[in-house]
Amino acid sequence: MTLTAEPLSEFLGAEIKGLDLSRPIDPADRAALLEQFWRHKVIAIRGQDVDPDGFIRFAEAFGAIEPFFISAYNLPSHPQIYVLSNVRKDGKPIGRDGAGTHWHSDSTFTEKPSSVTLLHGVTVPSRGGDTLFADTVDAYERLDPATKALIDGRRAVHRYQRKEFVFSGDRAVDAAERAEIERLKATRLAEEAAAAPSPTARRSNREPDRLHPLVRTHPVTGRKALYLNDEMTVGIEGMPEAEAVPLLRRLCEVATAPDRVLRFKWRQGDIVAWDNAATVHTATFTPPDEPRVMHRLTIEGTVPF
């Protein structure tokens, strides 16, 4: 089968066509897929009617699936799959609601952050719920020489912080949506306070700070990229906070400049994979009356260098 890649935007991402995910990918297609993936950093395969086994099989083309830490929101039949959703059954959430609503690369608060993340749009809202992506290789290259010299060789401090319903990336949120977000956030916080802490919350409370290079070298392509999270990168080793925090904010603003953001609008069944060493992403607001169910898998990564 001949695989093709069509750009999703001028600067980032490609739609891959010509793959049949109802059966295992043959080695030639896998090699072609990975070549396109490392080149485009975000890839989408539209409209896939695959079940969890098919999604897992496809994800394995990118490497070993991480045994996701025990969570209240894993799919019972396939615990590697983490469910993101705003849907509630019998008053209980079927997935994590409001997750990933700030600009980030996945699991940077761990020693070996996920290399690749895949999302499958199982139920896709007709409005909202887009995912935004920005290219951190391009962001590094756009920095002026003085800033590059200031950050090259530095390590940033990554700290796990719960960031549900932040929406730092979606500059399009209006006042009515913001009020709705604050209402949802207050409800979820009250629910959490009333319940025993979930295994996810217990683990996150134990996570120590992690130091990772602020400019990382991509383990496959060798390209240099900014490596930071809008909300979870809280400092720079050996730099006073008063200097580090505004610098981190400035770097994040460069990376996520609105005119360089890929806004991915989900359609039913879409699968998207992204390269966590070369991009940052953020979820956006989904109106509560629009059900959204996403299945998420992550691929093991290595210690960033």
Provide the binding-site residues for ligand SIN, judged by CB under 6 A.
Answer: 84, 99-100, 117, 131, 281, 283, 294, 296
d(CA 182, CA 57): 38
Q: How far is the CB of 30 from ligand SIN (least distance, A)?
A: 24
Q: How far is the CB of 117 from ligand SIN (least distance, A)?
A: 6
Q: How far is the CB of 116 from ligand SIN (least distance, A)?
A: 12
Residue closest to ligand SIN, measured at CB: 100
Cβ proximity to ligand SIN, 12 vs 244, nearer residue: 12
Cβ proximity to ligand SIN, 100 vs 304, nearer residue: 100
Contact indicator for 157, 233 with CB cutoff of 8 Å: yes
Q: How far is the CB of 131 from ligand SIN (least distance, A)?
A: 4
Q: How far is the CB of 167 from ligand SIN (least distance, A)?
A: 11
Cβ proximity to ligand SIN, 249 vs 265, nearer residue: 265
Cβ proximity to ligand SIN, 32 vs 42, nearer residue: 42
Cβ proximity to ligand SIN, 202 vs 265, nearer residue: 265
Cβ proximity to ligand SIN, 83 vs 254, nearer residue: 83
Q: How far is the CB of 264 from ligand SIN (least distance, A)?
A: 8
